[in-house]
Chains A and B, each alone.
Chain A
Amino acid sequence: MSKFGLVTKGLLKENPTFVLVLGMCPTLATTTSALNGLEMGLATMFVLILSNIVISLIAPVVPDKVHIPVYIVVIATFVTLLQLLMQAYTPDVYETLGLFIPLIVVNCIVLGRAEAFASKNSVGDSALDGIGIGIGFTVTLTVIGIVREILGSGSVFGWKFIEGDGMLAFVMAPGAFLVLGYLMVLFNKLAKR
């Protein structure tokens, strides 16, 4: 696969949300607005890239039987690091996403890429893979966030275009499932063409 392909596959062919259907917890829980979706996507991308790089470096020397614990420790380290940094320098973002940052540790996408890609490929390719999947995840979360924000609050990235509230169901959990489901249908219909 070409270097360019590694970066772009996350958007369509291996879109983590619509095709691989991984990392559903943050996808459903944090996409109440476009900005929240974008921030969550970027946070995950940060962890994904770093853990992919480190894991592709250490994979050759880690004994097979303990590779999962080792990977998890590496991922958890980066997540904690991210959490501390966010708490210190972007407290507002941390306030809204707080609960979901530690959950990146158990996000299937991160461990999934470590297992399926980073442990078998070179450092450069793994970094590109992290960027690609990260972009795919970020874009998808932002799109879901935009749709939910338009329908649920009548605004885009905080810019309001109607008076009062939208359809509040879309800001709550059921709306997350509805929007995810219909976007998945739309995505797969368009992707087939």
Chain B
Amino acid sequence: MDKLIVSPSPHLHSPASTDRIMLDVIIALVPALLVSFLFYGWAQLIVLVVSCVGCVGCEWLIVRYLMKRPAVFSCTSALVTGILLAMNLPATAPWWMVLIGALVAIGVAKMSFGGLGQNIFNPAITGRVFLLVSFPVQMTNWTMPARSFIEMDAITGATPLSVIKEGLKSGLSIDEVLAANGMDMSMLLRDIGGSSGEISAFALVLGFCYLLVRRVVKPWIPLSIVLTIAAIAGIFHAVDPAHYTGIAFNLLTGGVMLGSLFMATDYVTSPFSKWGGVIYGIGIGLIVMMIRYFGSYPEGMSFAILIMNCFVPLINRAFHQKKFGR
């Protein structure tokens, strides 16, 4: 490789500014991370550390020894992937599983396509989906929040989405399912089992506001996802409240918040333009609700983002960025 290497297409960004943006994303994720430590304790911290070390290590090894282009190594970008992956995993995930996830996220989803800026699919989500399909038992056994840093007797259980899904599948209505499990709706929203990214909607929104203030992201994609989900859930819930869950439930459970705020907005795998972003967001919202209401999986955020990732090149063709001066 003695040719001049031209870096991937957004030539306006130098590696330094990529690092700065990624650093902002990491800062924005800090509140949500703190909340997750509070809820899940050391186990979550171990998952986070393994995931980050795995992602950064894998990226460095590939850049250094397979691509032989150490100059394009971006530690912070791999770190963001590592953090997002950890936030998508249950705190009970064993270390080797997290490591496999990191390997798939960086090695398969990112570096196989040429590294930073070239990947079609969001690496962290690809890693999560791979683990979900490969280790369904471990990946669907979520820890209930322990609410204390010391108390390590974690209780495991299903997520509210899967409890409801299972109940509906066997022909019960939502109220009956809740009654059978000794829960009511408000309890579901407070005391839910899930990945760390799922339990702290407020902290996630807080972090996202920081990104908005720093002008790192624009709000169009998350807004359109959230509005689409709210609209669909609103219509279905109004028509048949016994079999379709409501707006707040759908927005606050599962990975909707984490996914729409931090994963769908990933620069590389989302459309460039404002209206492209809106179409992309509506698509994600639609697919999530279709999977939740009619599919066999209880949660569909990661699948929805991956599916819409495929359409990004097409959306970019349809919605060109306005050329300067026209």
Do A and B touch, yes or no (CB under 8 Å, in the complex)?
A: yes
Q: Which residues on A are within 8 Å of B, measured CB to CB?
A: 165-170, 172, 174, 178, 181
The minimal Cβ–Cβ distance linking A165 to chain B, given in whole angstroms, is: 8
Cβ of B134 and Cβ of A168 under 8 Å apart? yes
Known: A168-B136, A178-B108. 15 other contacts (CB 8 A): A165-B135, A167-B100, A167-B130, A167-B134, A168-B133, A168-B134, A168-B135, A169-B130, A169-B133, A169-B134, A170-B134, A172-B133, A174-B130, A174-B133, A181-B112
B135 contact set on A, CB distance < 8 A = 165, 167-168
Residue of A whose beta carbon sits closest to that of B130: A169
CA distance A144 to B316 in the complex (A): 36
Interface centre among A167, A170, A172 (most CB of B within 10 A): A167
CA distance A181 to B113 in the complex (A): 12
B136 contact set on A, CB distance < 8 A = 168
Residue of A whose beta carbon sits closest to that of B132: A169
Residue contacts A-B, CB under 8 angstroms, 19 given = A165-B135, A166-B134, A167-B100, A167-B130, A167-B134, A167-B135, A168-B133, A168-B134, A168-B135, A168-B136, A169-B130, A169-B133, A169-B134, A170-B134, A172-B133, A174-B130, A174-B133, A178-B108, A181-B112
CA distance A98 to B134 in the complex (A): 26
Interface centre among B112, B134, B136 (most CB of A within 10 A): B134
Residue of B whose beta carbon sits closest to that of A185: B112
A181 contact set on B, CB distance < 8 A = 112
The minimal Cβ–Cβ distance linking B110 to chain A, given in whole angstroms, is: 14
| Count of B interface residues, CB-CB < 8 Å | 8
Q: Which residues on B are within 8 Å of A, measured CB to CB?
A: 100, 108, 112, 130, 133-136
The minimal Cβ–Cβ distance linking A179 to chain B, given in whole angstroms, is: 11
Residue of B whose beta carbon sits closest to that of A170: B134
CA distance A86 to B172 in the complex (A): 46
A168 contact set on B, CB distance < 8 A = 133-136
A165 contact set on B, CB distance < 8 A = 135
CA distance A170 to B133 in the complex (A): 9
The minimal Cβ–Cβ distance linking B103 to chain A, given in whole angstroms, is: 11
A169 contact set on B, CB distance < 8 A = 130, 133-134
Residue of A whose beta carbon sits closest to that of B126: A174
CA distance A166 to B130 in the complex (A): 12
The minimal Cβ–Cβ distance linking B325 to chain A, given in whole angstroms, is: 43
A166 contact set on B, CB distance < 8 A = 134
The 9 closest A-B pairs by CB, nearest first: A167-B134, A169-B134, A169-B133, A168-B134, A169-B130, A168-B133, A172-B133, A178-B108, A167-B100
CA distance A174 to B127 in the complex (A): 13
CA distance A170 to B104 in the complex (A): 12
The minimal Cβ–Cβ distance linking A174 to chain B, given in whole angstroms, is: 7
A167 contact set on B, CB distance < 8 A = 100, 130, 134-135
CA distance A18 to B255 in the complex (A): 39
CA distance A174 to B133 in the complex (A): 10
B133 contact set on A, CB distance < 8 A = 168-169, 172, 174
A170 contact set on B, CB distance < 8 A = 134
CA distance A179 to B133 in the complex (A): 16
A178 contact set on B, CB distance < 8 A = 108
CA distance A76 to B265 in the complex (A): 51
The minimal Cβ–Cβ distance linking A168 to chain B, given in whole angstroms, is: 5
CA distance A181 to B109 in the complex (A): 13
CA distance A178 to B107 in the complex (A): 12
CA distance A166 to B96 in the complex (A): 12
CA distance A166 to B135 in the complex (A): 8
The minimal Cβ–Cβ distance linking A47 to chain B, given in whole angstroms, is: 34
The minimal Cβ–Cβ distance linking A86 to chain B, given in whole angstroms, is: 31
CA distance A165 to B137 in the complex (A): 11
B100 contact set on A, CB distance < 8 A = 167
The minimal Cβ–Cβ distance linking B130 to chain A, given in whole angstroms, is: 5
B130 contact set on A, CB distance < 8 A = 167, 169, 174
